[in-house]
Amino acid sequence: MAEGKTESPGPRKRGPYISSVTSQSVNVMIRGVVLFFIGVFLALVLNLLQIQRNVTLFPPDVVTSIFSSAWWVPPCCGTASAVIGLLYPCIDRHLGEPHKFKREWSSVMRCVAVFVGINHASAKVDFDNNFQFSLTLAALSVGLWWTFDRSRSGFGLGVGIAFLATVVTQLLVYNGVYQYTSPDFLYVRSWLPCIFFAGGITMGNIGRQLAMYECKVIPEKSHQE
């Protein structure tokens, strides 16, 4: 007697839509991880500058690292960087206005250098009038946007990020998590929104540049047997 042969079903092929969704999800996750670690690194370096100049003060019991910073600062900055870096290209696609101004890594690195310089100036430069100093940093931050971004969505997101981050910082300082020396804008320094604005533009540029490497999935062609 001839025995009937049962063929084991092979691996099921995913359709082009499922493949595209999966690849996009992986791409977003990879970009988010990269942005997170960039944010952590910048937070460690820039926060060290602020602490060395006694601009920000943390309670002694929360300082646990060689960078003299609270343990929660780098992860929070890394998470915020990932969200901002992913949000910028997402808004660009939603508005149908792809950002094409100075889309190369050399421009992104110059933007990072200018942002670090603005942050360094906020810690190193001493002005007799805090209001004049804040105006100077505001001009530098807007100049950073004009030089490396020039998009309306980028400016709007930068302003929104600066406002939200300043409110969160005010609440943290109000609850005694840490403090600023010589506050002149409620509980913080008046130039802090300028730093947040410049940081948002910088991480947005990095996120846009990384988004250019988004995986493009070629739909699989079905073959008829």
pLDDT of residue 220: 41
Q: Look at residue 84 in the predicted model and tell me its pLDDT.
A: 95
Cβ distance 210 to 38 under 8 Å?
no
Q: What are 63's strand-pairing partners?
A: 70
- pLDDT 10s digit of each residue in the chain, 225 long? 444 445 445 545 544 444 454 577 888 899 999 999 999 999 888 877 766 555 555 555 544 454 455 677 889 999 999 999 999 999 988 887 766 776 788 999 999 999 999 988 877 776 677 788 889 999 999 999 999 998 888 999 999 999 999 999 999 888 877 777 777 778 788 888 999 999 999 999 999 999 887 644 334 444 344
Which of 152, 166, 159, 149 is closest to 204 using CA atoms?
149
Query: 105: buried, middle or exposed (CB in 10 Å: 19+, 13-18, 0-12)?
Result: exposed
Buried b (16+ CB within 10 A) or exposed e, 13-40: eeeeeebbeeeeeebbeebbebbbebbb
The pLDDT value recorded for residue 78 is 93
Comparing CA positions, the residue from 149, 171, 150, 152 lying closest to residue 160 is: 152
**pLDDT reported for residue 82:** 96
Helical spans, DSSP H, in 53-177: 73-95, 105-124, 130-148, 152-174
To the nearest 5 percent, what fractions of the chain are helix, strand and coil? Answer: 65, 5, 30
Bridge partner list, 91: none
Q: What does the domain layout of the chain look like in residue ranges?
A: 26-52+69-223
DSSP-assigned letters across all residues of 143-193: HHHHHHT--HHHHHHHHHHHHHHHHHHHHHHHTTS-EESS--BTTB-TTHH
The token pair at 105 is 């890594």
What's the pLDDT score for residue 96?
A: 76
